[in-house]
Amino acid sequence: MGSEKSKRKKIAIIGGDGIGPAVTREAKLLLEVYRDKAGLPIDLWELDLGADRFLRDGTTFPKEIQIAIQRECSAVLLGALGDPRVPGLEHARDILFGMRFGYDLYANIRPVKALSDKLVPLKGRGAKDVDLVVFRENTEGIYVGMGGQFKRGTPDEVAINEDVNTRKGVERIIRAAFEYARSHGRTRVTMADKSNAMRHAHELWLRVFHEVRAQYGDISSDHVYVDALCLYLIQDPSKFQVVVTNNLFGDIVTDLGAAFQGGLGMAASANVHASDPKRVALFEPVHGSAPPLAGKDIANPFAALLTVGMMLAHLGWPDEEKRIERWVTQAVDEGQCTVDVGGTLGTQAAAAWLRERVAAEL
């Protein structure tokens, strides 16, 4: 372990809402195995943030916590946010956007990788056909919240959300996708937009894509409209290796992709500042808080555990991501998993099965 890797890494942990605390607990236990058994230099900092805290005292994401995370932490592990008791989602918005926008984590990276043939619902397709990575722009687009409502509640009501795209934002996410492809042995990058309908915002995407691709002659690249991309993904996902797109389309395409890998309970993600890997990064399973499943010990923990793998790779231990993937694959193949992916185990038992096998190898 080199000197850079041996520096201690502080990880903030936010369990959040719904099934978030349950799956995050299992992720934390896996991190403790790596800390205590493998001796990885990581420190865990649990934070009491989420709907329960908001309902208790109105706290969302205190400025002092935001600053402390930025100064002291290498990564944040977030369970999920969203609770029907907070219909306005004030706490979720402040926490999630406070990190994504506040730390300028412009690249949302979502692997769409099937770990077992039995998880792929497409006829005639198997795990070998599903292995792509989506780069979703994370700090611009329709989700910035610019807009408003006029004459609300009347027959003449007008509601506007503005799609914000900057040259800087578009170029850096496209470049991040090409750099990832080059550094990870991928040979093709696809950019998806809707420039045929959104003549101003997405013409910028198309123009910048052509300018950036010219600088990566070793990487094949193509452009498709996002509606066509959805069609092509279902027809043959093996044609795609790295996909880059905007905030809204990335959100939609990655949920479609999750269906190819066994559902949202198998989907991990990272939010990073791709051009400065030393900045704090945010890691989260993408399944959401799923309030109806909370407290029932039935939520799939594998997305959270795979997210731990992504985090460890980001922090300098890529072999551990491969190890966790291998044991998740075996768990699914042997039925040592939750019902949604063909098993009979509960959240805690499925996570414990994997954790024990990882620990035995360390």
Residue ranges of domains in the chain:
1-114+267-362, 131-260
CB atoms inside a 10 Å sphere around CB 200 = 9
pLDDT at 4: 45
Residue 1 has pLDDT above 70, yes or no: no
CATH class of 1-114+267-362: alpha beta
Percentage of the chain modeled with pLDDT above 70: 98
pLDDT at 7: 87
**Active-site residue, 194 included:** yes
Among 43, 52, 129, 255, which one carries the catalytic annotation?
255
| 6 confidence band (pLDDT: 50, 70, 90) | low
Among 28, 113, 194, 340, which one carries the catalytic annotation?
194
DSSP conformational letter for 102: T
> Helix axis angle, 90-100 relative to 63-72, nearest 10°?
30
Sign of CA dihedral 84, 88, 89, 91: negative
Q: What is the pLDDT of residues 296-337, one digit of tens each?
A: 999 999 999 999 999 999 999 999 999 999 999 999 999 999
Residue 291 has pLDDT above 50, yes or no: yes
CATH class of 131-260: alpha beta
Among 103, 106, 143, 180, which one carries the catalytic annotation?
143
Q: Which residue has 């498709």 as its token pair?
A: 224
CB atoms inside a 10 Å sphere around CB 315 = 21
Residue 3 has pLDDT above 60, yes or no: no
Average pLDDT of the segment spanning 336-341: 97
Average pLDDT of the segment spanning 243-258: 97
pLDDT at 246: 98
Question: Higher pLDDT residue, 6 or 149?
Answer: 149
Among 227, 236, 296, 322, which one carries the catalytic annotation?
227
Residue 104 has pLDDT above 80, yes or no: yes
Residues 6+ apart with CB under 8 A from 227: 194
Q: What is the pLDDT of residues 22-57, one digit of tens each?
A: 999 999 999 999 999 999 999 999 999 999 999 999
Among 131, 163, 251, 340, which one carries the catalytic annotation?
251
What six digits make up the tokens of 347? Answer: 């959240």
Residue 5 has pLDDT above 90, yes or no: no
**Active-site residue, 43 included:** no
Mean pLDDT across the chain, nearest whole number?
96
Pairwise CA distance, residues 96 & 108, whole Å: 12
Average pLDDT of the segment spanning 139-157: 95
Residue 74 has pLDDT above 50, yes or no: yes
**Active-site residue, 143 included:** yes
- Fold match between domain 1-114+267-362 and domain 131-260: yes
Residue 2 has pLDDT above 80, yes or no: no
Contact 18, 82 (CB under 8 A): yes
